[in-house]
């Protein structure tokens, strides 16, 4: 099964997102749990979330990927920011427990001058405080482009975060690989996919990879810019991304588009990717 979806707005509710995903040919989707650049939070009605679950199960969909807002900074040394990130992530995870097999993706954050090692420790401490042993939701660290003081640019930094999480919580931590981010971070995912996936497996382990953000990039390899492009219109190209979605080691995973599109553009990209899926 080829699980492919796009990023949708939660403004109309959970069941509405599921219906919208199906309307553009998707069988999964991604969404922000709250305003991506604000701090407000309105807890969804349980009935709405459960209606989405029923809809997706009836249509053979993969679980949606919930994305934490950009206002979180788990690596921060500033107590106010770190505490807000922790408490808000706890709220998100409480909601997601209603969705079987839920995935929750977050950016590990920026160390803002305290150094990568300290940022990694802060991020791991946050995960250790928000994850409940036995929870159903998998929390995914997103691979980053290395812009500014971002942590998570290298596979080694991602692994260091995982290894620093409390042992009882560690089984609930996974990774979301972003094709644009790792390319901008220096990993040639389309030109030398074999070597990149071998490196990922050696450092982190492919068994910890649960989702892929499928994005082209406006910038060349190693640019550390993090600017997504439409599929086939950037430096990764359709042929390179075709190799990613057809690689036998990862083709079973759900793929989520975060390309600069409206719904009609996502529908075209989903149809295009389905046409080159083997």
Name the DSSP letter for residue 84: H
* Residue range 145-168, pLDDT digits in tens: 999 999 999 999 999 999 999 999
Instruction: Find where tokens 């939070």 sit.
Output: 41
What is the predicted pLDDT for the residue at 191? 96
Q: How many residues does the chain have?
A: 278
How far the first Cα of the chain sits from its last, in Å, is 11
Name the DSSP letter for residue 110: B
Name the DSSP letter for residue 247: -
The correct answer on CATH 3.20.20.150 for the domain covering 4-276 is yes
Spatial neighbors of 26 by CB under 8 A, at least 6 apart, are 4, 5, 6, 266, 270
* Residue range 174-195, pLDDT digits in tens: 999 999 999 999 999 999 999 9
* Residue range 28-60, pLDDT digits in tens: 999 999 987 767 778 999 999 999 999 999 999
φ, ψ (nearest 5 deg) of residue 240: -65, -40
What is the predicted pLDDT for the residue at 112? 94
Q: Angle, nearest 10°, between helix axes 116-130 and 155-164?
A: 50
119 touches 154 (CB < 8 A): no
Task: Answer yes or no: is pLDDT of 266 > 90.
Answer: yes
- CA dist 243 to 10, 105, 247, Å? 31, 24, 6
Q: Which residues pair with 255 in a beta bridge?
A: 4, 212
Strand duo 216-217 + 209-214: pairing = unpaired
Structure tokens at 249: 């080691």
- CA dist 165 to 69, 83, 118, 133, Å? 21, 17, 13, 12
Domain limits of the chain?
4-276
Q: What is the mean pLDDT of the chain?
A: 96
């Amino acid at each position: 099964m080829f699980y492919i979806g796009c990023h949708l707005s939660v403004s109309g509710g959970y069941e509405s997102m599921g219906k919208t995903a199906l309307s553009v040919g998707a069988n999964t989707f991604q969404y922000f749990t709250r305003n991506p650049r604000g701090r407000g939070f309105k807890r969804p009605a349980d009935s709405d979330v459960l209606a989405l679950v029923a809809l997706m199960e009836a249509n053979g969909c993969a679980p949606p990927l919930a994305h934490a807002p950009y206002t979180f900074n788990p690596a921060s040394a500033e107590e106010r920011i770190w505490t807000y990130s922790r408490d808000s992530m706890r709220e998100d995870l409480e909601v997601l427990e209603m969705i079987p097999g839920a995935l929750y993706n977050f950016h590990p954050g920026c160390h803002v001058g305290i150094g990568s090692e300290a940022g990694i420790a802060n991020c791991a401490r946050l995960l250790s405080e928000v994850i409940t042993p036995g929870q159903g939701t998998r929390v995914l660290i997103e691979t980053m482009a290395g812009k500014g003081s971002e942590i998570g640019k290298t596979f080694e930094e991602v692994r260091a975060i995982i290894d620093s999480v409390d042992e009882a919580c560690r089984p609930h931590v996974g990774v979301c690989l972003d094709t644009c981010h790792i390319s901008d971070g220096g990993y040639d995912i389309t030109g030398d996919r074999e070597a990149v996936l071998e490196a990922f497996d050696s450092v982190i382990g492919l068994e910890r990879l649960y989702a892929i953000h499928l994005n082209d990039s406006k910038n060349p390899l190693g640019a550390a810019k993090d600017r997504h492009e439409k599929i086939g219109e950037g430096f990764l190209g359709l042929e390179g991304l075709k190799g990613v979605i057809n690689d036998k080691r990862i083709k079973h995973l759900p793929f989520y588009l975060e390309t600069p599109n409206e719904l009609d553009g996502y529908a075209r990209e989903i149809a295009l990717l389905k046409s080159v899926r083997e």
